[in-house]
Amino acid sequence: MSFSITGKTIIVTGAANGIGLAIARQFADKGANVMCVDTDEKALAEELGDARDEGNIRFFAGDLRQRLTIANLVSATIDAFDEVDVLVNASRHFLPTDALDGDDTSVETLWQENVMTALQLTQQVAKRMIKQAEGQTDGTVGSIINLSSITSRHTRPELMAYSMAAAALEQMTRSMALTLAPHRIRVNAVAFGSVMSASLKASVADNREWRDDIRGHTPLGRIASPTELTDTIQYLAADSSSFMTGEVIVVDGGRSLLDAAGAPAH
């Protein structure tokens, strides 16, 4: 069974920091061609270097809520590497929700940023994968991987918008898996618990009580580093998972086991 991604062309969104950055770096180190995507062009350049026209790492800055930006991203990837084999929708945003406030816009905002951008990019990349596979009769054509959260099933009132978006993303994963299976394109997701992403790091920096509470409700007793997700995502990107589609893999240190028994999720 091969976990190799050498030579594959992979688009990673949210690649300027945290989990997305960890994925992009590991994939590049393993020999993949990586197009790193984020809205923060300065952070991309600082983290990934200034080179745009050489090597196996390129970056693209833009607002993926715009369809034209998505089209330009796919074109830039093809111009750089000739094809696209894997898409990792790692870009996620978080907003707290006041569930009884009629003026709260967190649901609409996270629906657009966490669900619709992933869906629209998946649609455009899948079309490209289908086109470049014309004439091929066997083998996997492509792999699409969505990053979700265990809050899709274990939530709190202030996490309503984030939880709704995560649940929708997981159902989108299953639906697109069925849609794209005849084209030999696989669609899976990874739902994670408490990972020291950029947003969580900022949230717990001055809140030791919250940090200790998260650890206390995680059987493995700690918050994961972003790199602890990357091997699972690499597995889904590689041919080793060629018979897996429509699945949501949970990576949470056992957190869901306690949440199912009534402990609060974060």
pLDDT, tens only, 100-133: 999 999 999 999 999 999 999 999 999 999 999 9
Q: What pLDDT is stored for residue 202 in this prediction?
A: 65
Cα separation, 21 vs 178, whole angstroms: 29
264 within some domain = no
Cα separation, 46 vs 219, whole angstroms: 36
161 within some domain = yes
Task: Give me the number of domains the chain comprises.
Answer: 1
Q: What pLDDT is stored for residue 260 in this prediction?
A: 52
265 within some domain = no
Cβ-based burial of 201 (10 A; exposed 0-12, middle 13-18, buried ≥19)? middle
Helix (H) or strand (E) holding 162: helix 160-180
3 within some domain = no
88 within some domain = yes
Nearest to 22 by CA among 232, 248, 245: 232
Please give the model's pTM, rounded to 2 decimal places: 0.91
Ranges of the chain whose pLDDT falls below 70: 1, 50-54, 197-206, 259-266
**Structural domain span for residue 138:** 9-259
217 within some domain = yes
1 within some domain = no
Task: Residue 97: give its domain's CATH number.
Answer: 3.40.50.720
266 within some domain = no
Q: What pLDDT is stored for residue 22 in this prediction?
A: 94
